Structure 1
Amino acid sequence: MANDCEAWLNANPLDADDLSDSFQSGDEENGIYTNNIKNEINGNWISAPTSSSSIHEARLKAKAKRRLRKTSSRDSGRGDSLSDNGDVSRGTNGTVPPTSPKSKLLDRKSRAGKGRGLPKKGGAGGKGVWGPPGEVYDLEEVDVKDPNYDEAQESCVYATVVPPLEEGDFEKTITPIVQEYFEHGDTNEVAELLAELNLGSMSSGVPVLAVSLALEAKASHRELTSRLLTYLCGRVLSHKDVESSFDKLLRELPDLVLDTPGAAQLVGQFIARAVRDKILSKSYLDGYKGRVDCVHARAALDRAAVLLKMRMDGLRVDKVWGAGGGQRPVTQLVKEMTLLLKEYILSGDNQEAERCLRELEVPHFHHEFVYEAVVMVLESKGEKTLKMVLQLLKFLWVSSVITVDQMRRGYERVYMDIAEINIDVPRAYFILEHFVDKSFSAGFICENLRDLCPSRGRKRFVSEGDGGRFKLESY
C-alpha cells in the first residue's frame, strides 16, 4: 500500500499553495467545492479520474469540516453544520449568529453547554462571602513581626460591662418586677432579672421594697414575698444584705404605720419567717435587746420573738401567712364558707360578708358559696333566711364578686342534688321553686336557668268527683 501511494505522488506532484490551510478565493470555493462535492457520499469516495483537482476538493472538504467543528463547540449546535452530503446548512431564519460575540466574554455559563446549574464554588464565591456552609476557621495567630503588634493584646479580656443602676431609677426598675412576681409567682424569673442589673450597694434595698409592697397586699402575696427572699439569699443577695434590709425596715416603721396600721405586727412576722428560713441568724433579735427606743420597732421585735417561742407549742412559723387562695384544701374552704353564711345570718352585714369572701381569694370556687347558700335556704324554717340569702346573692351579683358562670354552676349543682336533699327536707322541691322564682324576679339568674329547675310530679285525689283538681299539699 505504501508503494502505491509513493508511486502516485511521484506521478502527480503538488504545489506549495495546495498544502496551505488558507481558504481559496470565492470562485474556487463556490465553483470547485459545489461542483465536485458529489464525489463523496456518506464518507465514501466515488471512483474518479486521478487528478490534482480531486485532491484539492478533498482538502477543501476537510477544512470545511474543521471550521464547522470549531464553531459548533462555541455555538452548541447553532449556526452552520454539514449535512450528510457535505452541504452547509443554515439556521432556521437563514442568519448565522456570530461565532464569538462580545457578550460571551463575561458569560459565566459553561461554553460547552454542560453543567448542572449549580453555583460556582459551591455557593462560597462572590463578594462578602467567607466560605462554604460548615467551614470553621481557626483563630488567627498574631504576627509578632507585624509593625502594629502590641504585647498587651494577648492578655486582653473582653467582657460586657453593665453600668450601675442609679438611685433615682432603682424604685422604677424594681417595683414592676415585684408586682409581676405577685401575679406569676416564679422566683427564678425574678432572680434572672435582678442578676442582669448592676445593683451594687443598693442590693439591700430589694427586700425593703418587696416587703413594703407586700404590706399593702394580700396574705398570699406576703407568703410569696417570704419565699422570694429565701430564694434570692445566696444567689443575688447575701446574708449581710438581708440583715441590713430588715434594719432599715425597723427604722422606717413609723412611716410605714401611717399607710398600713398593722405594719409593726406584719414586719415582726416577716422577721420570724426569715429566722425560720435561716436567712437571718438566730442572734438577730438578741442584738436589739435593750437598744430599741421606737415603739413600733419594739412591737415588731416582740411579735417575732413570740412567734419563734410559740413554735415549741406546735405552731409552725412557715405557716404564719396561711395557705393563700387555692392552696388550701377543699374541705377547709367549704367550712369557711359555711361559717361565713352563718355569721351573715346573725349580723346581716352584706359588706362584711363580701370582704370575707374576697379574702378567701378563690373566685373559681364561688359556686360552692352559692350552693351552700341555697341549701341553707332549703333547710331553714321560715322566710327570714330566704329573704336574707336572696338579698346577699343579689348584693354579690351587683358588686361583681360572683360572676354569671359561678352563679349558674351553683344553681345547677342544687338541681342535681335536689333528689337527695328532698330525703331530709320533704318540702325541698316546693321551697326550691319558690326561691328560684324570687331569684329570677331579683334579676341575678336568667330565664333558661329558671326553667331548668326540677319539679316533682303532683298527685291527684283518688276520690270521686274531684273534678281533676291537683293535690297541692303533695309535698
Structure 2
Amino acid sequence: MAADCEAWLNANPVEAQDLSDSFVSGEEDNGGSLLSNKNINNEINGNWLSSSSNSIHEARLKAKAKRRLRKNSSRDSGRGDSLSDNGDAVRGTAVAPTSPKSKLLDRKSRLGKGRGLPKKGGAGGKGVWGRSGEVYGPEEVDEKDPNYDEAQENCVYETVAPPLEEKDFEKTVSPIVQEYFEHGDTNEVAELLAELNLGPMRSEVPSLAVSLALEAKASHRELTSRLLADLCGSVLSRSDMESSFDKLLRELPDLVLDTPGAPQLVGQFIARAVSDQILSKSYIESYKGRVGCQYTRAALDRAAVLLKMTMGGLRIDNQWGAGGGQRPVMQLVKEMNLLLKEYILSGDIKEAERCLRDLEVPHFHHEFVYEAIVMVLESKGDKTFKMVLQLLKALSASSSITVDQMRRGYERVYMDIAEINIDVPRAYFILEQFVDQSFNTGVIDVKIRDLCPCRGRKRFVSEGDGGVVKLESY
C-alpha cells in the first residue's frame, strides 16, 4: 500500500499553491483558460471537487504515505527510505527511529501470526537457558577448535576424594564407630569407610575402634570384635590388622592410665582376632624374646592362655558376652536366676547390683522382680524372704530398678498367683505378707499394695463352732 501511494505521488506531483487556502486573485479571474484547466484537474472519477477539498484529500494521502514509510523504516533500524519534514523521500538515513519502551521489551511476534505468545515458547533469545524440562544431548567436539585435543574424546572423569589427613582422622572415624555401638550394623560401617579415602591411615581404624571399646561396655567390645572380623578382607587387609595391634601393644602404658585393665582386655582382643583368623597364629610367637614392657607381656600372656583354653574345648567366639537387646529371653531369665541364687548364698548386695547392671537390660528388670518374688513364694523359712526384701529395697533406693519396672514385676506375680498356688498351697498368704512388708519399707506404693489379690473363698465353720463365721482366708 505504501509503495502504491508513493508511485501515485510521483506520477501526480502537487504544487505548493494547491495546498494554500487563500482566495483566487484577480489575475487568475481574468485567465479563463487557466481556470478551465484547473476545473478539469479537479474532476476525479466523474465528480467535480472544489480546490479546498482537493487539497485536503491530497494532504491526507501524503500523511498516510508518510506514516507507512516511517513504520517500514523503523523495522530495518534506520536502513531504507524515510520521509523528511516536507514529505520528500530520503534514502539511507542512519538515524534509528525511536519506539516506546513497551515495544523494546515485547517479545511477541509482530508478523501477525500465532496467538501472540512469546517466541519459541519463551526459550529463545540471548542469555536464555531454554524451556523447563528440556534435555540436551551430548555435545559434539569440534575438531576445528583451536583448543581441540585428540585425547579429550577418551577421557573418563571421576570424583576423587582427597586422602584423609592424620589431624582429621579421629574426628571423622570416631563418630562412625560410636554410632555403630548403637545400631550394630557392620555393613553400614563398611560403606561409610569405603566412601572415605583413608590412604595411609587405613591401619589406624582397628586401633581406634579397640581404644574406644576399652572405655565402653562388654557388649560394645563384642561388637568391636565382630566389626574387625567383617572389615578384614573387604576394607582392611591382614597386614593392616597386624600393624594396628602392634600400635596397641606399644600404646599400652598410656592406655593403662585411663583403663587399668587394658592389658587383659587387649589380650582378649588379640585372642579373639586369632580365633577369627584376622591375625596369624604365629603373631604371638613373633614377640617371644623381644618384649620389654610389662603391660605388653601381660597382654600377650593373656592371649596365649585363652588360645590354649580354646584348644581344650572352650569357645572364645563369645567371650565378651552379647548385649541385652541381642540375647535370647531364655538366656536372660537363666542368668537372672543364677544371680539371685548367688546373692542368697553370698548376701552381697553391691555385687548383685553390679551383675544386674552388667546385663544391660533395663527394660527387662521386671523379670528380675518377678523371679525374686517367685523365689520367695517357693522358699522355706524366713531367710530368703528377708534377703530378697533387702535386695529390692536397695535396688529401688539406688534407682537401679525403676518404679515402672518394679510395678510391672509385682503385677505379673498378681496375674500368675493362681497357677503358682497349685504348686505352693500357701502362696496367697506369703504374697500378702511380702506385699505388706514391701509397702512398709517403701519399695511399692499404696496402689500396688491394694492390687494384691486375696483368696476369695470364705470358710463357714461347722455346727460345732456355734455358727460363727470366720473371716480369715484359711
Task: Name the TM-score, length of structure 2 as normaliser.
Answer: 0.71
1:179 deviation in Å?
Answer: 1.6
Contact 1:370 1:410 in 2 (8 A): yes
Give me the identity figure in percent.
75
CA distance in 2, matches of 1:298, 1:266: 13
Query: In the alignment, which residue of structure 1 is the partner of 2:39?
Result: none
Render the CA deviation track for 1:87-128: whole Å, top value 9, x for unaligned: xxxxxxxxxxxxxx9978976679999988987645644653
Counterpart check, 1:17 vs 2:44: yes
Change (3 A) 1:145 1:261: closer
Q: How does 1:401-416 map to 2 (within 5 A)?
A: 401-416=400-415
Change (3 A) 1:152 1:382: same
1:254 deviation in Å?
Answer: 2.8
Query: In the alignment, which residue of structure 1 is the partner of 2:130?
Result: 130
- Paired letter, 2:339: L
Query: In the alignment, which residue of structure 2 is the partner of 1:423?
Result: 422
1:372 deviation in Å?
Answer: 0.8
Q: How does 1:146-165 map to 2 (within 5 A)?
A: 146=146, 148-149=147-148, 158-165=157-164
Query: In the alignment, which residue of structure 1 is the partner of 2:239?
Result: 240
Task: Name the TM-score, length of structure 1 as normaliser.
Answer: 0.71
Change (3 A) 1:145 1:348: closer
Query: In the alignment, which residue of structure 2 is the partner of 1:346?
Result: 345
Query: In the alignment, which residue of structure 1 is the partner of 2:178?
Result: 179
CA distance in 2, matches of 1:326, 1:373: 22
Query: In the alignment, which residue of structure 1 is the partner of 2:440?
Result: 441
CA distance in 2, matches of 1:166, 1:135: 40
Change (3 A) 1:245 1:107: closer
- Paired letter, 2:292: D
Query: In the alignment, which residue of structure 2 is the partner of 1:375?
Result: 374
Query: In the alignment, which residue of structure 2 is the partner of 1:227?
Result: 226
Name the count of aligned residue pairs.
386
Contact 1:239 1:280 in 2 (8 A): yes
Contact 2:267 2:300 in 1 (8 A): yes
Change (3 A) 1:136 1:378: same
CA distance in 1, matches of 2:116, 2:228: 65
**Secondary structure, counterpart of 2:320 in structure 1:** coil
Contact 1:461 1:471 in 2 (8 A): no
Query: In the alignment, which residue of structure 2 is the partner of 1:272?
Result: 271
CA distance in 1, matches of 2:323, 2:286: 33
Counterpart check, 1:364 vs 2:391: no
CA distance in 2, matches of 1:461, 1:107: 112
CA distance in 2, matches of 1:387, 1:355: 20
1:237 deviation in Å?
Answer: 2.0
CA distance in 1, matches of 2:432, 2:183: 43
Render the CA deviation track for 1:55-74: whole Å, top value 9, x for unaligned: xxxxxxxxxxxxxxxxxxxx
**Secondary structure, counterpart of 1:436 in structure 2:** helix
Query: In the alignment, which residue of structure 2 is the partner of 1:87?
Result: none
Contact 1:123 1:132 in 2 (8 A): no
Counterpart check, 1:386 vs 2:385: yes
RMSD of equivalent CA atoms? 3.6
Render the CA deviation track for 1:217-262: whole Å, top value 9, x for unaligned: 2221111111111222233322211110111112222332343333
Q: How does 1:107-146 map to 2 (within 5 A)?
A: 121-122=120-121, 124-125=123-124, 127-131=127-131, 133-146=133-146
Change (3 A) 1:424 1:155: closer
Counterpart check, 1:463 vs 2:458: no
CA distance in 1, matches of 2:110, 2:455: 98
Query: In the alignment, which residue of structure 2 is the partner of 1:317?
Result: 316
Query: In the alignment, which residue of structure 1 is the partner of 2:13?
Result: none
1:373 deviation in Å?
Answer: 0.8
Render the CA deviation track for 1:124-179: whole Å, top value 9, x for unaligned: 44653334525332223134343x44567556654444343333333233222222
**Secondary structure, counterpart of 1:318 in structure 2:** coil
Query: In the alignment, which residue of structure 1 is the partner of 2:80?
Result: none
Q: Is there any run of 5+ residues in structure 2 with no aligned partner, and where?
A: 1-41, 54-99
CA distance in 2, matches of 1:407, 1:116: 80
CA distance in 1, matches of 2:451, 2:254: 57
- Paired letter, 1:198: N
**Secondary structure, counterpart of 1:317 in structure 2:** coil
1:193 deviation in Å?
Answer: 2.7
Change (3 A) 1:386 1:204: same
CA distance in 2, matches of 1:378, 1:467: 34
Change (3 A) 1:469 1:152: same
Query: In the alignment, which residue of structure 2 is the partner of 1:213?
Result: 212
CA distance in 2, matches of 1:283, 1:384: 54
